[in-house]
Amino acid sequence: MNNSTPPENNGFLFNVDILVKSPSNAFALQHLLETLNQSQHIADYRIKSGMELGGMIDQLIEAKKRSVITKAAAATEKVSPAVTEKTKKQPAEQTVSDVPESSSDPTELIKIYSKDNRLIRLTTNRQGKKFSLPCRILNYDEKNRLVTVYHVDEKQVYTFNINEIDEFSTS
């Protein structure tokens, strides 16, 4: 009679520091994520430091809160009651920057889309292969002309050279 119990699928948690050699932070993060996602033995992971992925969101929320508080304080001090009633009936101000659709400078669009944390569709051409991905721009490295994006469907981070990007679309 065999009294041994079957082996359990236990999970073990390790806290490690990993140094990734790369020409930029964006490439290093991309390589680290690819390595972690390719392993069948890694069930889950959390990157606690390096590039802060949620930092832009926090900054935008904080900036919007300050803007609303400042506008509300200015409106109550300077506006007469009749004008205040008129203001209440107007639609809320949009938080997204005006994007110059006719802009020929892609770096200007990248900065605006990144600042607004706007969902865009990026069309790229890497080594003759066309890709179209829904993403948010995480970072733009002006020195190396690299754009780091977060693919919202695949939940992956990709880095593209500015020359590999064919088109941005917002709708």
| All structural domains of the chain | 104-171 (2.30.30.520)
Say what the pLDDT of residue 104 is: 59
As a whole number, mean pLDDT of residues 48-77 equals 65
Please tell me the distance from the alpha carbon of residue 79 to that of residue 76, in angstroms, as a whole number: 6
> For the residues 17-41, what does the mean pLDDT come to?
83
End-to-end CA distance of the chain: 67
**Residue 4 confidence (pLDDT):** 61
Percent of the chain whose pLDDT exceeds 90: 13
> Residue 88's pLDDT is what?
43
pLDDT at residue 136 tops 70: yes
d(CA 78, CA 80): 7
Tokens of 136: 């948010």
In sequence order, the 6+-apart residues with CB closer than 8 A to the CB of 48 are none
- pTM, 2 dp: 0.44
Whether residue 95 is predicted with pLDDT greater than 50 in this model: the reply is no
| Res. 81 pLDDT band, cuts 50 70 90 | very low
CB 125 within 8 A of CB 164: yes
pLDDT range class, residue 55, cuts 50, 70, 90: low
Helices (H) and strands (E) in the chain, counts: 4, 5
* pLDDT tens sequence across 102-117: 455 778 888 888 888 8
pLDDT for 26 equals 78
Question: Which pLDDT belongs to residue 19?
Answer: 79
Query: Residue range 54-78: average pLDDT?
Result: 66
